[in-house]
Amino acid sequence: MRIALDAMGGDFAPGPIVAGAVEAVLDREDLITVLVGDRERIEAELEKAPQAPRDRLPIVHAAEAIGMDEKPVEALRKKRDNSISRSWAMMAAGEVQAIVSAGNTGAMVASALFAGAHAKMFLPGVRRPGIAAIFPSHQGPIVIIDVGANMAPKPEDLYQYGLMGSIYAEEILGVTAPRIGILNVGSEEEKGNDLTRGTRKLFEESPWASRFVGNVEGRDIYEGHVRVVICDGFVGNVLLKAGEGAVDFLFATLREELARLLPEFPVEVGQKIAGSLMNLKRRFEYEEFGGAPLLGIRGACIICHGSSKSRAIKNALRVANLMAADRINAKIVEQLGATLDDAVDAPKS
């Protein structure tokens, strides 16, 4: 398996990105990670890891890098030779089977859309790819899709997100027959807006009706009774980032509160509590899943958090490898094909 890794993407790139690639290829002998970016800087990082199997860490030079805060479309147009576009071009050419990046999410998606338009990067029948984020719940990990690829989806898009998210939950997260719900402001049928009502109708008339549970309220997400929650990219993105903000705020407040108490406790008590908090915070960071898959494209693509450290990158490469090797895309095509005529007005490819 060959995976393109955007070595320049992320708040701390290329250091932890290259380190994660080294860890990943050491872990899996059949994995080749193509490091895409500034050759000189990547070489410098690789020199810090003498144990690295260089034959499975080829470098593809890209002269430019898109910053985390740059405007995606503008940056892609101005910086033609950037590491993200280069990675997508390699996937379009069949030179890699997957892409991983902790860089500018907007640029990753826009580049996929460009590649999709020009080189048929979308899976047959897919209207528009969606980003699936993994959230924790009382029942284990759940999928929320879309969290930022599609700001103004149609019911048909959300229907496809439900199918794709469900297949991802089954194949990659190991959930049996995951239930699908629409994120909404209430559980009653007529709640929400035209998008939620239209999507509901599509599901109820589809072969997936038995997996579809209707509306899910924000507070029920973490219960985990519904393992695939679909929503438009605007709501999903706000939810994802607000969730991160809430967890950070809560842990900061908790640390303050405990810091006031800890001096009164024996040292080993303090250490145990601190360790316990760290464990807990990790459960919310999802480094184990490495990032959010962009579903609906040929090949596999994982978008990592900008602050990803080597562990997250390593895990993203592991999941990308799994996705590219798995039947997940074949299943998506099969299911979309089987239900397209019934429920979805898909563009002809």
Chain residues that interact with a copy of itself, rule: CB under 8 A: 69, 71, 106, 136-138, 148, 151-152, 183-188, 190, 192-193, 217-223, 231, 233-235, 237-250, 252-254, 257-258, 260-261, 264-265, 269, 272-273, 276, 279-280, 283-284
Closest approach of a copy of itself to the CB of residue 281, in Å: 10
Q: Which is nearer to a copy of itself, 18 or 65 (CB)?
A: 65
Q: Which pair of structure tokens corresponds to residue 3?
A: 């995976």
Looking at beta carbons only, is 273 or 333 nearer to a copy of itself?
Answer: 273
Give the bridge partners for 145, in sequence order: 132, 230
Q: Which is nearer to a copy of itself, 22 or 239 (CB)?
A: 239
Minimum distance of a copy of itself from residue 269's CB (angstroms): 6
Rounded least distance, CB 254 to a copy of itself, Å: 6
Q: Could you tell me the strand order of the sheet in which 142-145 lies?
A: 59-61, 32-37, 2-6, 98-101, 300-303, 292-295, 130-135, 142-145, 228-230, 180-184, 212-217
Q: Which is nearer to a copy of itself, 53 or 218 (CB)?
A: 218
Of the pair 186, 207, the CB lying nearest a copy of itself is at 186
Residue 45 or 232: which CB sits closer to a copy of itself?
232
Q: C-beta of 233: minimal distance to a copy of itself in Å?
A: 7
**What six digits make up the tokens of 223?**
């219960």
- On whether the CB atoms of residues 140 and 175 are closer than 8 A, the answer is yes
Q: Are 235 and 183 in contact (CB under 8 A)?
A: yes
Residues 6+ apart with CB under 8 A from 51: 22, 26
Q: What's the CA gap between 116 and 41, in Å, rounded? A: 30
Rounded to a whole number of angstroms, the minimum distance from the CB of residue 12 to a copy of itself is 18
Angle at alpha carbon of residue 55, lines to 51 and 59, rounded to 5° = 100
Contact 342, 205 (CB under 8 A): yes
Distance of closest approach, residue 340 Cβ to a copy of itself, in angstroms: 27
Q: Is the peptide bond before 146 cis (omega within 30 degrees of 0)?
A: yes
